[in-house]
A and B are shown apart, each in its own frame.
Chain A
Amino acid sequence: MSMMTGERAAADTRAARREARLAIEEFNAEYCAVLDDGDLMDWPDFFTAEAFYNITSRENFDHGRPVGLVYCEGRAMLRDRALAIAKTSMFGPRYLRHYMANTRVTGIEPGGTICATVNYILIETLAELPEGRLHQAGRMIDRFEPQPGGGLLLSSRIAVYDTLLVPNALVLPV
């Protein structure tokens, strides 16, 4: 049913972008649900085996500086990240809630890869800070690969945050 799964080059049409946007919104809703309320070990499954994942400040991104708060090459490193956080990291109890909005499909490449951006905010609530606070606001710069079953996987996600000063620590991915 999808025009992106066949042999033909994917067409970058208005309709295709609209369809892709819906698929991405669905994807991100699931993605956020896993990070907010689910099992962190499921998070790497949103990515392709070779995926690139980076969280970096707008300061770095705008100046072409490559460091990331989290910098992963490949799903194996994403799994290591999830495992390390889940099993070895010490941090205070907290709730994190991710919001993604303003999804924009910026292009569909002939190979089917969907390029998109989405704004995000991350609200962190600590036991001693029950009113919660904005932890990050920024945008995701994404590349999605359509999968044979009809779903999407991220082959690249760069989270660029405007909130220059990270409050204390970023314990979970965005």
Chain B
Amino acid sequence: MSWHPSIPAAEVREKGAVAVEADGLRLALFALEGEIFATANICTHAFALLTEGHVEGGCVECPLHQGLFDIRTGKAQGAPVTKDLATYAVKVEDGTVWIDTEPRAGAEAEAPAFAGAGQGPDPRRVVILGGGQAGAEAARALRAEGFAGPVTLVGAEAHAPYERPPLSKDLLLGRTTLAEAEVFEPGEAERLGTVLRLGLRATAIDRAARQVALEDGTALGYDILILATGAEARRLALPGAETVTLHSLRDAGDAQRLGPALRAASRVAVIGGGFIGLEIASAARALGRDVAVIEAQDRLLKRLLPEGPAELLAWVAGENGVALHLGAAVAGVSPEGVALADGRLVAADCIVIGAGAVPGDALGRAAGLETATAGGILVNARGATSDPAIYAIGDVAVARDEISGAETRMESWQNARASALRAACAIAGTPLPAPETPWFWSDLFGGTLQIAGLPAPDLPTVRRDGDAPAFYCLDAASRVTACIEFGDPELLRLGRRLIASGQPVDPARLADPDTDLSLIEEDDMKMLPIEKRFTWPASGLDRVPDWVYTSREIYDREIERIFHGPTWNYVGLAAEVPEPGDYIRTNVGPTPVVMVRDHDGGINVVENRCSHRAAEFCRELRGNAEEFVCPYHQWSYDLKGNLSGVPFRRGVNGEGGMGPDFDPANHGVRKLKVTQRNGAVFASFSEEVESFEDYMGAEMLADFDTVFPGRKLRVLGHYRHTLMGNWKLYPENLKDPYHATLLHTFLVTFGLLVAGNKSAMIVDPRGRHSTMASAKSDGATVSAENKAEMRAYRDGMVLEDPRLMEFVEEFDSPWSVTMQVVWPGLIVQREMNTLGVRQIVPNGPNEFTMVWTMFGYEDDDEEMTRHRLRQGNLMGPAGFLGLEDNEAIKFVQDGMLNSTGGEHLVALDPKVPAGTSNTLISEAAIRAMYRHWRQEMGL
């Protein structure tokens, strides 16, 4: 027995879990239902404090690897923890918790906790709101993808889930029944273990409580919610509406009303010339009724289809006896029919509105989910909404492209299925299928119109007449983006192949019915374009494919589009070339350049490549020169890069030499655009690049200016090393706050970054630049708990010479450490008082060189300079932190080099799709970087 007092019991009960020290032990006190328990506070698996973990059900989950321990017994509850936690006897006297620091015997002696923990049922409850095709397909796909948890489907309609296409087609004609349109086979819902709650409306979503309120007054809890609330028929407010029955067609009830009405009518007027209106017209004609279609636009399907196919449809409708009223506004309705704004009356005894559908997003909107401007719930590629616990699928979902920002809502049978499958894969954790080419069909007047791809009214369109006409929409590069056929499905199949291939086609040949479309491919498709060969994982930015890091072709495109594109690339410090003629050899991306100060005092950056035979003429790392002379043929250049001398330009004795048209002014070395910011020099191959200040943005510029405040710099020296990884892994490393305390044990051990430090991961709005920042607590303000943390967690681990960790306040900044990425290739380091820049020089996809320039300020005294040098031990190729990053980057590249088709997972913090996050346990900054990268790369 060895009893030690600790803290007031009330504090434990209030906080639930408190870290304490007693008798030199680091212990955890937990309050469970008022009772207090003590255990060791360090996880038996890896170093982490359990009091920072999550307590639930009498167990504590380690924050590091989610090992679970029973608090009362200390028993390990399964992988990854195998060793039980020590527990200690506790008593409360006079309100203070006393702990017996001799551990209780027994816990470890008992049988090991491993009970062959296999895959149990998934504890997550999925609730699907919406009993349409998408909802039912989701229930089915969840099981197909292996999801084993409870699934409940809530549908407002009393009928079992059914597919909608027959509603406007055969069902209207009485050729099929609703039962035949049901999604589930008989007994399938039971086999799937899906609880169907039909005829029940959901009234609200409580996202905080993860509950859906139902109209019967009960609530349904969920862990994951799928919104499949579909769309509703668009209502039109028409004068006289109260005098007639206005039909619309969206659900089974509508169809059951409309079918008999069509049969009873003699003249039918359809308001709206879209697909639904045309299908109703088609059905009405099949019943032998007189039919008129009234369309406000001057042609059919004006928002969806190009003119060609729309006119064909109008012609087909006319041939089938439909009276089309185009460009006709409706003034009102009456028992006589539809009055048009021009005074005409379209006589009808049955009026149907087919004016499209609006997404049924009310529940999601009320719950505060992000919605699209045109309505509908915004989702990412996996179908997740702005709340990672809620998905949306089918007609209600609007997919927002992560790269272009384009918003797409699709009402189609195919999309209901595909979006349900995507969400199910995301929930079950299985790989997402590659996106399908969109496909849509409509049964009209005895034929079938099919659309593959995404047509648009303004795209150039090629008509091809064969047995039946087909239309191909082309993009600006003459590539097929959509195919519309009416009667020859073979043309649709070939059209799909052309869409998939992404090859430009000759419009004349495409139009010629004698051209064999399969031969167009064979003739022209020597090489798939890059964006067809390198496709991003279907899941979106939370995955990064290996080819981003390993492909030579991608690397070459990066040089062209990024390093030689409209970016500012760090090349050196003005302090490195103080005098006229001073130069250094440096690089823009991989490309060698020379930075040189001329006699006017300006700094020039020129390509280190002789305009004669490409020789890299400047060979010294640094020096001073009056001119540059290429060693090969003695061509000479002045300090601005102008060609000043060509030996034997005019030949010898009138023989040889350059021709009369040779003008040296046209043959200088390539000069780059140059800018300076407080002593840092940047160059760009692009003339169009914005100003450096605009390039950085105000927030990033402020962090930059903290290190470069305009004080004169003193260069302390360089490190150069090669890293065996793709260059992007380096900026990623500094956009990855997750790794900091996990990889860099040194930081935690010696208190540089500990729990309770203020820190941030800030990303510029375009996602390219970033600052990882943290504030070192000084001794005076560190809490006792954090002091305990800062002390070595292994005995004897204290710095003998603490000067390494001293922080001399010298900046007007809340941060003691900022690591800033200036896209693409610069890192500005302010690690307390050790300052430096790191320049990335890529060297192929699998390797890059890093050039570090360490500096202080010219007015530093001797001791400050030495302090910066001492603190430099943290960074660089042998730095306590630096070397670990180098090794980690190499390990990542090694992991990719000899495998194929792999991808990285960067899914932490899904609430922030990309950008600045409030938590360090986030990969949102990496996602933001790849959003920008993909925009720049066109991939």
Contact = CB atoms under 8 A, between A and B. Distances in A.
Interface residues of A, number: 38
Given A84-B880, A88-B746, A56 B717 contact: yes
Interface stretch (B257-265, B489-497, B871-879): B871-879
Interface in B864-909: 865-866, 869-870, 872-873, 876-880, 882-884, 886-888, 890-891, 894
Contact of B894 (A67, A84, A87, A128): A128
B734 interface: no
B717 A65 contact: yes
B719 A57 contact: yes
A56 B882 CA distance: 16
A65 B852 CA distance: 13
Interface stretch (B223-231, B298-306, B794-802): B794-802
Given A66-B869, A169-B877, A59 B887 contact: no
Contacts of B870: 71-73, 77
B801 A67 contact: no
Contacts of B746: 84, 88-89
B720 A91 contact: no
Interface of B, secondary structure class, is mixed
Interface in A40-93: 55-57, 59-60, 63, 65-74, 76-77, 79-81, 83-84, 87-92
B877 A67 contact: no
B733 interface: no
B849 A165 contact: yes
B799 A67 contact: no
B54 interface: no
Given A65-B715, A165-B720, A166-B721, A91 B884 contact: yes
A170 B877 contact: yes
Contact of B866 (A57, A73, A166): A73
A165 B801 contact: no
Interface in B249-294: none
A72 B804 CA distance: 10
Contact of B720 (A77, A81, A90, A164): A164
Contacts of A13: none
Nearest to A79: B800
Contacts of B877: 69, 166, 168-170
A83 B804 contact: no
Contact of B873 (A71, A91, A128): A71
A171 interface: yes
Contacts of B722: 165-168
Interface in B295-339: none
Nearest to A84: B880
Interface string A125-158: 0001000000000000000000000000000000
Contacts of A167: 721-722
B749 interface: yes
Contacts of A88: 745-746, 749, 797, 880
Given A165-B721, A168-B722, A170-B883, A67 B800 contact: no
A92 B887 contact: yes
Contacts of B721: 165-169
Nearest to A128: B894
Given A90-B745, A92-B887, A80 B717 contact: no
A67 B716 contact: yes
B716 A169 contact: no
A166 B884 contact: no
B626 to A, nearest CB: 21
A74 B869 contact: no
Nearest to A77: B801
A74 B803 CA distance: 11
A165 B894 CA distance: 20
A71 B872 contact: yes
B854 interface: yes
A56 B890 CA distance: 23
A16 B886 CA distance: 45
A169 B804 contact: no
A60 B720 CA distance: 11
A69 B797 contact: no
A63 to B, nearest CB: 8
A69 B886 contact: no
Given A67-B854, A69-B877, A88-B880, A168 B890 contact: yes
Contacts of B720: 57, 59, 164-166
B612 interface: no
Interface of A: 55-57, 59-60, 63, 65-74, 76-77, 79-81, 83-84, 87-92, 128, 164-171
7 contacts: A80-B799, A92-B887, A166-B719, A168-B877, A169-B882, A169-B883, A170-B883
The 5 closest A-B pairs by CB, nearest first: A67-B717, A65-B717, A76-B800, A166-B721, A169-B883
Given A67-B869, A84-B746, A90-B888, 10 more contacts: A68-B872, A69-B719, A69-B878, A69-B879, A77-B804, A79-B800, A87-B749, A91-B883, A169-B878, A169-B882
